[in-house]
Amino acid sequence: MKYKSKQLLSALLAAALVFCLLAASPMTVYADWAVILEAEIESFKVFQEVNTYTSGQFNDVRESAWYSGVAAKAYEYGLMKGTGANTFNPSGNMTVAEAVTIAARVHNIYHGGNGEFVQGDPWYQVYVDYAIDNGIITAGAFSNYNKAATRAEMAYIFARTSVPVLLAYTAVHDPPNIVNSLPDADSSTRHYDYIIRLYQAGILAGSDAQGTFHPNSSVTRAEAAAIIIRLIILDERISGRTYG
């Protein structure tokens, strides 16, 4: 029942948003945006630490490494697990299957679940089915789930996982970051709209001050951990930047 209630809330919020944009005065639109945004921000409290990370738990995560904190948080929030009993494989490529798995866990927790799934054969099929059923990915979007995910594919998966109303808000009203252009991505880039939304929301920041994205490059597990933590913890997001 909690899951269905969450779905109903999201549907009502989306309907209210459309009504505001089409029928209300600018001031009313602003007021309703504020109400919607407040409700969405409040809903992020469903993400809680469910695991305890201890220093040295993953022998390939150095405490001095830039990613040690986000790797620990991704584990603590139950969104990423190790690749072995004592390894995280931070420099390893994230596969499409792993990206879809994280997306399914985020979506499930946000909608009242615990992020746990019963795996079958292949191990990722339950996550793929869930992602398709809940509109995170479309059927046939990927032909090989074992391949390394590109950064553009990761943006597509993670953006559709996150709260659409919150991303829409940052895109059209006082976004935390301004994106005039990116050095290596434009309207011809696959999944460009999702990439821009994540930059505006402070979930993506690129690899340099100009916001270079490398859309066709693979993404490491450490990089994915940083991005997913910015997705679920609003205080971790980047703000105040202008690209282009």
Number of domains in the chain: 1
- The per-residue pLDDT for range 83-132, each reduced to its tens digit, is 888 999 999 999 999 999 999 999 999 888 999 999 999 999 999 999 99
What 3 state SS string does 44-100 have? HHHCCCCCCCCCCCCCCCCCCCCCHHHHHHHHHCCCCCCCCCCCCCCCCECEHHHHH
- The per-residue pLDDT for range 68-79, each reduced to its tens digit, is 999 999 999 999
- pTM for the whole thing? 0.81
- CA-based nearest residue to 53, from 225, 204, 219: 225
Distance CA 62, CA 57 (A): 10
- The per-residue pLDDT for range 139-184, each reduced to its tens digit, is 999 999 999 999 999 999 999 886 666 666 666 667 889 999 999 9
Are 203 and 165 in contact by the 8 Å Cβ rule? The answer is no
Q: What is the span of the domain harbouring residue 193?
A: 2-243
Percent of the residues in the chain that have a pLDDT greater than 90, as a whole number: 66
- CB-CB neighbours of 149 under 10 Å: 23
- The per-residue pLDDT for range 203-218, each reduced to its tens digit, is 999 999 999 999 999 9
